[in-house]
Amino acid sequence: MAYAFFPGCVSKGGCPELYPAAKIVADKLNIELVELRDVGCSGAGVLSQEVSDPVNARTLAKVEKMGMTMMTICSTCQGTFTQANHRLQSDPEYRDRINQEYLASEGLRYDGTVDIKHFLWILDEEYGLDNLKDLVVHPLEGLKVAPFYGCYLRRPPELMVPKGFEGRKTVLEKTIETLGGEVVNTSGKGKCCGFPILSSSEDNSLAMCGDHTLEAKDKGANCMVTPCPLCHLELDGKQEDAARHKKQDIDLPILHLPQMVGLALGFSPRDMGLHKHLVSTEEIVNILEGVRA
Amino acid sequence: MEITLKFYRFSPGNGSKGDFQEYPVEIDESATVLDALMQVKEDQDSTIAFRGSCRTGFCGDCTMRISRRNRMACSTTVGAAQNEGTITVEPVRLITTTKDMMYDLDTWVYDKYKAVEPWIETDQKSPDKEHVVSNKVVQDLRKVMSCTMCWLCDEGCSTMVVDRKFVGPLALTKAYRSVFDPRDNRTEARLKNLSEKNGMWDCCHCYEASEHCPKGIDPTERIFALRNKAIKANAGIPTVRNHYRSFAKSVKSHGWLDEARLAIETEGLTNIKGQLKQVPLAIKAFRKGKRPLPYFLHEKREGRDRIKRIFEKWEENE
C-alpha cells in the first residue's frame, strides 16, 4: 500500500511528536508514505477559500499525477481538503477557472480524480482492522480511552460520512477496541475542542476543553485519543489553563491516533514521543507496563 | 398504530421540576408528531402547552426534542419517531421554557435577531426604476431568506453550550442576508457590530449548525463569508485580524504555517500583556522538547514561489 502523504503543518510544528510517530507506525504496517514536499498549507479554514482552493488544487494536481490516494494525519487538513475537492469535483467550470488562472502557468492541471483519506479511515477501510489486530503485540488492556473526533472528520456529514461510509461515525471506537483498549464514550466526542476560538474567545475555548476532558475523566477514562493535532494543541496544550478556568484538576493525557496504534504495536512511549506532551502521560505508561509486567 | 406519547410537563409557577406524563395515542404511522400532540390536546388533556402553526415545515414554530433528537414536530412522522411504540417529546436543551414546550423566545431568539439589525438600510433616494439585483445574488439571498428561525442551528451550536450569550448561527444567518444584499449600505458598520463581544468571532466553525439546519442554508458557510468580508473590511477584532494576516503571510512567504510566528503576531508585537501571557506555555513546551525555530529560520518549502504567485494572483483579483 502506498499513499501520497500530506503531513500538515502542525505535525511538524506545534505537535512535533506526531510526524515521527505516524511515519514509524506506517512503516510497521508496511504502508509506504510518499511525502508531498512541494505543496502548501491547506488553509485550515482560516485562509479564504478564494486562495486556499487554488493552493489545494495545486496539491491535488500533483497527487493526481502520482496516481495515488492522498493520506492526511490531521482532521482539519482532511476537512479542508475534502471540502475543496468537493467544490472542484462538483463544479467543472470552477475547476477550469482555477486550472487556467492559477495552475496552467506551472504546467499543472487538476481533473478532480483524487481521493483523500485520513489515516484513521485508511486503517478501517483499506488496511482492515482485522489485519491491524494481527499485529498487536501489546494490547492496550486496562486502558480506558475516550475517543475524541472533533469537528472535521464528521461534518459536514454529506461529505465526511457519505452513504456507504457510515462506519466512520464509530471508527475511532472500533480502533480502540481492536487495539485492546476499553472505550469511554462522552457526549462531546464529536464537538469542537475549542481550538478555533482560542484567539478570539479564550474563555469559551477553555470551557469547551474543560468540559470534554472533565467528562472523560469523570467517566473513568485514563486518556483521550484524537485524530486531529489541532484538537491536541487544545486538549493537551491548554488543559492546564482549562483546569484553572474550571477550578478543578484534570490531568488527562491526550494521545494522537498514531501514538495509540504504535503503543499497541510494541513501540515504547518514548518512540511515540509521549514525553513531549504537556500533560503527563505517566499514568498511561504505568497502566500499560503494569499489564505487560 | 398505538403509541405512548411521553410528554414533558413543566410549570414553574407550581414549583414543578418537570416530569414526563404518558398519553396513549391511536394514530396512523404516517401522521406527524404534531398531529399526535394536537390529538392529545383535543381529546385527552387541553392543558399541555406547545407551539405549532403552519404544520408544513414553513414557520419553524414546533421545534422540540423528539425521541432524543432535535427536530420539528410537523416534519417528523410518528413512524420515524417512535421507538418500540414510544415517542418522547421534551424541550430542546439550551432554551429556557416558561411552561411545557413553550420557549422564552424573546431572550433566546428575538433579542439576538434584533441585535443584528435584520433590515436593509440605504441612503439612496428612491430610484426612477426598480433597484435591479442580479439573479445570482437573489438566488443566494433567497436561500438564506428561507430560514424559518426554527432554532435547530443554535441548539446544535458548540459555542452556545458554553456561552448562551453568543449571538448564534440563527441571527448570524439573518445578518448575512443584510450584509450581502447590495442595496444595503451599512456593510462596514454591520461587520463592526457583528465583531463585538459575543459576536461572529465566537463561532468555532464546527459545522454543527449546517448539520442541523433542516433547510440546507448552511449557516456555518454564511458565517465564514461574513468573517472573510470583515477581514477584508478591516472590521474584525484585533487578535483575529492579526491571526488571519499572520497566517496568510506565513503561507505566502514559506508555503506552510509558522506556528511560533502566528502565536506572537496574533497577540500583536506591541501587546506586552498578550505576549507575556504566552510565556509560561512557551517555557513548558520548550522544556518538553517542542522547540519551534524562530521565524527567520522557519524552513521554506519547495514550491513556495509558486504558492506565493497564487497569493499574488489572488490579491490582484481582489
pLDDT digits (tens, 9 = 90+) for B128-158: 778 888 999 999 999 999 999 999 999 999 9
| Residue percentage of chain A with pLDDT more than 70 | 99
CATH label, B105-232, candidates 3.40.50.720, 3.40.109.10, 3.40.50.300, 1.10.1060.10: 1.10.1060.10
Q: What is the mean pLDDT of residues A161-189?
A: 97
Q: Which of residues 263-282 of B touch A (CB under 8 A)?
A: 266, 281
| Nearest residue to B195 via CA among B233, B156, B246 | B233
Contact B257 A13 (CB under 8 A): yes
Contact A275 B288 (CB under 8 A): yes
What burial letters (b/e) apply to A58-88, b meaning 16+ CB within 10 Å?
bbbbbbbeeebbbbbbbbbbbbbbbbbbebb
ipTM confidence score: 0.92
**Cell reading at A151:** 469537528
- CA geometry: angle at B235 spanning B230 and B239, to 5°? 100
| Nearest residue to A231 via CA among A259, A196, A203 | A196
Q: What is the mean pLDDT of residues A265-279?
A: 96
In chain A, what are the domains?
2-118 (1.20.1050.140), 129-292 (3.40.50.11810)
pLDDT value of residue B318: 78
- Binned at pLDDT 50, 70 and 90, residue A292 comes out as low
DSSP per-residue letters across chain B: -EEEEEEEE--GGGT---EEEEEEEE--TTSBHHHHHHHHHHHT-TT------SSSSSS---EEEETTEEEEGGGSBHHHH-BTTEEEEE--SSS-EEETTEE-HIIIIIHHHHHT--S----SPPPSS-----HHHHHHHHHHHT-----HHHHH-HHHHH-TTS-HHHHHHHHHHHHT-TT---HHHHHHHHTSTTSGGG----SHHHHH-TT---HHHHHHHHHHHHHHTT-S-HHHHHHHHHHHHHHHHHSS--HHHHHHHHH-TT-HHHHHHHHHHHHHHHHTT--PPPTTTSPPPTTHHHHHHHHHHHHHH-
Q: Are A129 and A172 in contact (CB under 8 A)?
A: no
CA distances from B184 to A163, B117, B180 (A): 41, 12, 8
- Asked if the model's pLDDT at residue A293 lies above 70, the reply is no
Q: What is the mean pLDDT of residues B14-34?
A: 92
Q: What are phi and psi of A146, to 5 degrees?
A: -95, 120
pLDDT top residue among A179 and B258: A179
Q: Are B315 and B305 in contact (CB under 8 A)?
A: no
Q: Is A43 on the interface with B (CB under 8 A)?
A: yes
- CA-to-CA distance for A145 and A132, rounded, in angstroms? 18
What is the residue-averaged pLDDT of chain A? Answer: 96
Q: Which residue has the cell 424573546?
A: B106
Of A41, A102, A241, the CB nearest to B257: A41
For B27-50, write each residue's pLDDT tens digit: 999 999 999 999 999 999 999 999
pLDDT value of residue B252: 94
Gap from A131 CA to chain B (nearest CA, Å): 33
Q: What are phi and psi of A89, to 5 degrees?
A: -80, -35
Which DSSP letter does residue A103 get? I
Q: A1: burial class by Cβ within 10 Å (0-12, 13-18, 19+)? A: middle
- Asked if the model's pLDDT at residue B292 lies above 80, the reply is no
| Nearest residue to A245 via CA among A199, A192, A205 | A205
- Asked if the model's pLDDT at residue A228 lies above 80, the reply is yes
pLDDT value of residue A131: 98
- CA-to-CA distance for A139 and A156, rounded, in angstroms? 34
Q: Are A185 and A138 in contact (CB under 8 A)?
A: no
Q: Which residue has the cell 435591479?
A: B132
Q: What is the mean pLDDT of residues B194-219?
A: 95
- List, by residue range, all CATH 3.10.20.30 domains of chain B: 2-103
- CA geometry: angle at B74 spanning B73 and B79, to 5°? 75
Q: What is the mean pLDDT of residues B221-245?
A: 91
| Residue percentage of chain B with pLDDT more than 70 | 99
DSSP H helices, chain A, are 18-28, 49-66, 75-90, 92-98, 119-122, 129-134, 157-160, 171-178, 202-218, 229-235, 239-246, 257-264, 282-292
pLDDT value of residue B93: 87
- Architecture in CATH for domain B2-103: Roll (3.10)
pLDDT value of residue B21: 96
For A95-105, write each residue's pLDDT tens digit: 999 999 999 99
Gap from A198 CA to chain B (nearest CA, Å): 9
Lowest mean pLDDT across A164-178, A193-207, B250-264, B276-290: B276-290
Q: Which residue of A has its CA nearest to B292?
A: A13
Contact B239 A199 (CB under 8 A): yes
Q: Which of residues 289-308 of B touch A (CB under 8 A)?
A: 289-292, 301-304, 306-307
Q: What is the mean pLDDT of residues A73-89?
A: 97
- Asked if the model's pLDDT at residue B108 lies above 90, the reply is no
